[in-house]
Amino acid sequence: MLSDHIEITGARENNLKDVTVRIPKRQITVFTGVSGSGKSSLVFDTIAAEAQRQLNETFTAFARNFLPSYGQPDVDSIDNLSAAIIVDQKRLGGSSRSTVGTITDINPLIRLLFSRVGQPYVGYSNAFSFNDPQGMCPECEGLGRVTTLDLDKLLDRSKSLNEGAVLHPDFAVGGWYLSTYLMSGWFDGDKPLRDYTDEEMSVLLHGTGKVPVEWQGGKINTTYEGLVDKFTRLYIKKDIGAMSERNKASLLRFVTAGTCPLCQGGRLSPAALAASVGGFHITDLLAMEASELLATLRELAGTVPPAGGPIVANLIDRVQNLVTIGLGYIRLDRETTSLSGGESQRIKMVRHLSSSLIDMMYVFDEPSIGLHAHDVRRLNELLVKLRDKGNTVLVVEHDRDVIAVADHVVDMGPKAGAHGGQVVFTGSFAELTEAPTLTGRFMKHALPLKQEARTPTGALTIRDASRNNLKNVTVDIPTGVLTVVTGVAGSGKSTLINEVFLGTFPDAIEIDQSAVGASIRSNPATYTGLMDDIRRLFAKANGVNAGLFSFNSKGACTNCQGLGVLYTDLGFMEGFKSPCDVCRGRRFSEEVLGYQLRGKSIADVLELTAAEAAEFFTEKKLRTILSAVNDVGLDYLRLGQPLSTLSGGECQRIKLATELHKTGTVYVMDEPTTGLHMSDIQHLLEIIDRLVNQGNSVVVIEHNLDVIKNADWIVDLGPEGGTAGGEVLFTGPPADLLKADTYTAEAVRHDLAV
Ligand code: ADP
Ligand code: ADP
Ligand code: ZN
Ligand code: ZN
């Protein structure tokens, strides 16, 4: 029997307390609640994970080998699930060959258009693909850039080969590569390169041949390959965009990179570049911002030969979706690796909007990220469009305007961590505004505008900034206050602050939401520096070495090497993780667990929450650190919880906790309200206030109106995104913004009138 609801019974992932909840199908359900209340645990770790797992089960064991593995979530049952499509903020990876146009499937349509009605007639649509040998520029193989080896950077000509004349680390003295040169017998290893004859230099750089090399006691016949050819083959022919940061950095020291001289960055063959439709070359279209492309396509619609009509109509539909979702400022030839998390999520959304699959379950993680209040309305239209096609839409969100579009709201709480994990309200948005929950209360009325703005103590000046879309911007960033930089998506905020400001004032400290430590061995205690003192206390109390009380030492459980869990790899089947049966997840050896401090073992201490630890420890230094952790609202965090399991907002706050004692520092934060509930935002603002009151300066990029209203100084960019933006429209305190004529001013006025 078909049911109208997804039925979840007894969900217990992470902090969930046996949650039982029904979610209406083919409607929009928004999940709300403070950061750490359990929204992701329910939506992503339980519902979406189970949908993915069940889908994977339908594949053969062989095929499953190639799919990500999903463990069985801790839940009694979930019924009536649909296949899930997760639209999250993970950056779109890929190589330099992946662009906004390729990933949205707009490029294939443009190619089709050129192959049908391009002048002169040029052939199949492959001939317009820079990822196809038929269409790619032969010089740069479709990358648009050429990288050339710079011998002046690679060689130190004052040195001999034996002295390390070749500077790339892979050609170090004693290594295999250099040995093939030295043992060829063709060079004097002690002669500085500047004394080489032309002939010797030519052999070193371009020679070929067979040479015997003595290596580790044996003789090997190997192929000699000149330095330039070897270097080109090993590094330059590789896609720089796909290299690790480290390899990229070491390569970039020895090359010059520039636009390809043949295609001028257009990536395509000369024939493809010469073709045109309605007077436009393919590169003209790909270099336009989406909103300009849309206008151009509308003109073309009336003029192209009939064979092109349906293709242009289809293109208009897709590009319109890009514009609607607030990406009108983005160019199709933009490489996806340079997109922000919010932009990546919206691009993924565009891909799905053109899909004709129905009865799917779409799961969004804070889709309002990176969007100005002005653009949120359009985002809502797209969520509604997905629903009206017959899909179930689940959204984790904090933005009031997005919550308002919900057919159904599931509010989690009452608080975070162990104090959360329950459904505290379900119902319509109207009912939520009357609910006695934290979310309900914040929905009711807008917070007031700051009236008494602080006076700046000075200013840091950005001069003549013209990076990306910035139009020769000169602007003062005041010190000793909270400055909020705002403006619609694509107006230039990140360029101004993250690139220009941080590039000009490198002492400024950036506090973002990125992970604070990838290692499973790091946790709040190690990150904040608590662990060193805790180890010392245990050592002193028991008369043993402090090193024993570390997961990485010989005090660690030898069965699991201090991980507390064992990973079992089953090869052709899904692998799994189980608690270590020797230490039972406690991570230390039996001997170490025997040592106590005031009745607790080291494992017991790591199980304490920050709040409990603040009562347990009387030592001044520990209490100072713990009170900072509690002050940033992380009192519920356990000292031993792996940092890899912290949410973005939790990572940001633990970073802030370690900064609270500083003074005279400039902090930069990019959309710090991401993942934060309105009550968390109040808390964040209190922490920022404290930093500023202690004599620090804080610069925040934000769209959130509560943060904007709380600024001492506002820098508003615009008027639009992309080339239509990049100007400073307003600077001053919030009370003056009210009189300005910008999207931000309009949004604040609207908010205060509610
Ligand atoms: P929300 O999405 O509402 O911000 P989460 O579902 O991410 O909340 O987290 C709920 C709680 O569970 C938080 O206290 C978080 O630190 C904790 N948590 C999340 N993932 C893990 C994990 N893998 N192991 C232990 N605790 C976790
Ligand atoms: P905001 O932070 O206000 O959303 P950005 O500073 O990210 O705006 O973008 C401003 C303009 O610069 C936009 O037109 C954007 O497409 C462009 N831009 C930003 N980063 C890059 C990049 N890495 N490569 C090319 N264009 C970029
Ligand atoms: Zn080229
Ligand atoms: Zn163990």
Residue 689 pLDDT class (50, 70, 90 cuts): very high
417 lines ligand 1 (CB under 6 A): yes
Residue ranges with CB less than 5 Å from ion ligand 4: 557, 559-560, 580, 582-583
Residues 463, 435: Cα–Cα separation, whole Å: 50
Ligand nearest to C-alpha 136: 3
Pairing of strands 482-486, 28-32: unpaired
Distance 330 CA to ligand 4 centre (A): 51
CB 485 within 8 A of CB 699: yes
What confidence tier does 421 reach under pLDDT thresholds 50, 70, 90? very high
Average pLDDT, the chain: 90
User: Which residue has the CA at smallest separation from atom 5 of ligand 2?
Assistant: 492
When pLDDT is averaged across residues 570-582 and rounded to a whole number, the result is: 67
Residue 217 confidence (pLDDT) above 80: no
The minimum-distance atom of ligand 1 relative to the CA of 646 is: 16
**CA-closest residue to ligand 1 atom 16:** 646
What pLDDT was estimated at residue 63? 66
What was the pLDDT predicted at 65? 63
Ligand 1 centroid to Cα of residue 5, in Å, is: 25
Residue 575's pLDDT is 53
> How large is the average pLDDT for residues 589-606?
95
pLDDT > 80? residue 462? yes
CA of 130 from ligand 3 middle (Å) equals 9
Give me the pLDDT at residue 68, please. Answer: 60
Mean of the pLDDT values across residues 401-422? 95
Residue with the larger pLDDT of the pair 68 and 290: 290
Mutate to test the pocket of ligand 2, among 468, 703, 716, 742 (most ligand atoms within 8 A of CB): 468
**Residue 437 CB–ligand 1 contact under 6 Å:** no
Looking only at the bridges linking them, the beta strands covering 408-413 and 28-32 are: parallel
Closest residue by CA, ligand 1 atom 22: 645
Inter-residue long-range contacts of 573-578, CB under 8 Å, 24+ positions, other chains counted: 573/61, 573/64, 574/64, 574/69, 574/71, 575/69, 576/71, 577/71
Residues 722-747 pLDDT 10s: 999 999 999 999 999 999 999 999 99
37 Cβ below 6 A of ligand 1? yes
State the CB neighbour count (10 A cutoff) for residue 717: 30
Measured by CA distance, the residue closest to atom 25 of ligand 1 is: 14
pLDDT at 578: 77
What is the per-residue pLDDT for 333?
Answer: 93
Q: Is the CB of 15 under 6 A from ligand 1?
A: yes
| pLDDT for the residue 710 | 97
Q: Which ligand is nearest to the CA of 485?
A: 2
CB hemisphere CA count around 478 (13 angstroms): 20
Kindly state if the Cβ of 647 falls inside 6 Å of ligand 1.
yes
Which pLDDT belongs to residue 725?
Answer: 95
The set of residues, in sequence order, having a beta carbon less than 8 Å from that of 318 and lying 6+ positions away, is 104, 105, 106, 109, 350, 354
- Tell me the H-state helices in 529-588: 530-542
Neighbouring-strand partners of residue 224: 209
Torsion sign (Cα): 283, 284, 287, 292? negative
| pLDDT value for 357 | 78
Looking up tokens 């239209």 gives: 381
Question: Does the structure show a pLDDT above 80 at 64?
Answer: no
With residue 458 as reference, give the H or E element that holds it: strand 458-465
* Confidence band, pLDDT 50/70/90 cuts, at residue 94: low
- Residue 590 Cα to ligand 4 midpoint, Å, equals 10
Percentage of the chain exceeding pLDDT 70: 96
Reduced 3-state DSSP string for 36-65: CCCHHHHHHHHHHHHHHHHHHHCCCHHHHC
Q: Which of 708, 707, 693, 692 is nearest to 745 (CA)?
A: 708
Binned at pLDDT 50, 70 and 90, residue 651 comes out as: confident
Q: Is the confidence at residue 329, as pLDDT, over 90?
A: yes
For the segment 42-59, the average pLDDT, to the nearest whole number, is 88
Instruction: From the CA of 330, give the closest atom in ligand 2.
Output: 16
**CA–CA distance, 130 with 30 (Å, rounded to integer):** 41
| Residue 250, ligand 1, Cβ within 6 A | no
CA distances from 550 to 414, 545, 546, 713 (A): 35, 11, 8, 46
CA-nearest residue for atom 27, ligand 1, is 14
- Stretch 359-371: mean pLDDT, rounded? 90
In this prediction, residue 147 carries a pLDDT of: 83
8 A C-beta contact, residue 321 and residue 385: no
Pairing relation of β-strands 509-510 and 565-568?
unpaired
Is pLDDT of 425 > 60? yes
What is the average per-residue pLDDT within 531-539? Answer: 96
Banded pLDDT at 754 (limits 50, 70, 90): low
Residues with CB under 6 A from ligand 2: 329-330, 334, 338, 468-469, 487, 489-495, 721-722
Q: How far is residue 307's CA from residue 206's CA, in Å, rounded to a whole number? A: 52
* Between 176 and 409, residue with greater pLDDT: 409
Asked if the model's pLDDT at residue 494 lies above 60, the reply is: yes
Which residue CA neighbors atom 21 of ligand 1 most closely? Answer: 645
Do residues 128 and 101 touch, judged by C-beta distance below 8 A? no
Closest ligand to the CA of 607? 1
Cα 88 to chain centroid, rounded: 10
Predicted confidence at residue 325, as pLDDT, reads 85
pLDDT-based confidence at 648, cuts 50/70/90? confident
In this structure, the residue with its CA closest to atom 23 of ligand 2 is: 338
Considering 21-25, 355-359, 365-369, the range whose residues carry the highest mean pLDDT is 21-25
Angstrom distances, CA of residue 223 to CA of 164, 180, 212, 665: 22, 9, 9, 57
Q: Which residue has the higher pLDDT, 622 or 338?
A: 622
The one-letter amino acid code at 363 reads: V
Q: Do 711 and 697 form a contact (C-beta atoms < 8 A)?
A: no
Give 296's strand partners.
Answer: none
Region 612-635: mean pLDDT is 93
For 631, list phi and psi in degrees, rounded to 5: -65, -30
> Of the candidates 697, 698, 696, 736, which has an alpha carbon nearest to the alpha carbon of residue 716?
736
Q: For ligand 1, say whether the CB of 645 is within 6 Å of any of its atoms.
A: yes
What is the C-alpha separation between 745 and 708, in angstroms, rounded? 10
For residues 605 and 613, is the Cβ–Cβ distance under 8 A?
yes
How far, in whole angstroms, is CA 53 from its chain's centroid? 25
Give mean pLDDT, residues 495-505. 95
For the Cβ of 641 lying below 6 angstroms from any atom of ligand 1, the answer is yes
